[in-house]
Each structure stands twice: as C-alpha cells, then as structure tokens.
Copies of this chain bind each other. A is one copy, B any other.
C-alpha cells in the first residue's frame, strides 16, 4: 500500500542498539549510512537485526538543507 512519505530508500540493517524506551538502528543505503531512532517496541515488533532488508522512510518536511 503506497505511502504519502516522499523519501523511501531500500537498505540493509547494520546494527541495532536497544535502550529502555528508544532504539537506534543503523541502515546502509548505497554509500550512505542512515541513523534511525525509533521506539524499542517498534524495533522488537519488526524483530530488526543486522542483515535485514528494510526501507528507510523520511517525510519531506523532515529533510533540511545546508548549502
């Protein structure tokens, strides 16, 4: 089912770090590494682990620019 989220990039999970409430997920997308901070519950529900094929999602209003 398509999403209104404009930025959708396929990648591979490199690392999952769980905290008490939040989790940090590193995803390799081409030559770039994305850092994602989601809830620990979300990371556990998706059973995220290194090697998983995932899609990274970012709303366009969350994308800033430096020139």
Q: Which residues of A contact B (CB under 8 A)?
A: 1-9, 17-25, 27, 29-32, 34-39, 41-43, 45-48, 52-67
Contact = CB atoms under 8 A, between A and B. Distances in A.
A40 to B, nearest CB: 8
A55 to B, nearest CB: 4
12 contacts: A2-B45, A4-B39, A4-B64, A5-B64, A6-B41, A7-B35, A21-B22, A22-B22, A24-B41, A53-B67, A56-B64, A62-B62
A42 to B, nearest CB: 4
Given A6-B35, A57-B65, A58-B64, 5 more contacts: A1-B67, A4-B36, A4-B39, A8-B66, A35-B60
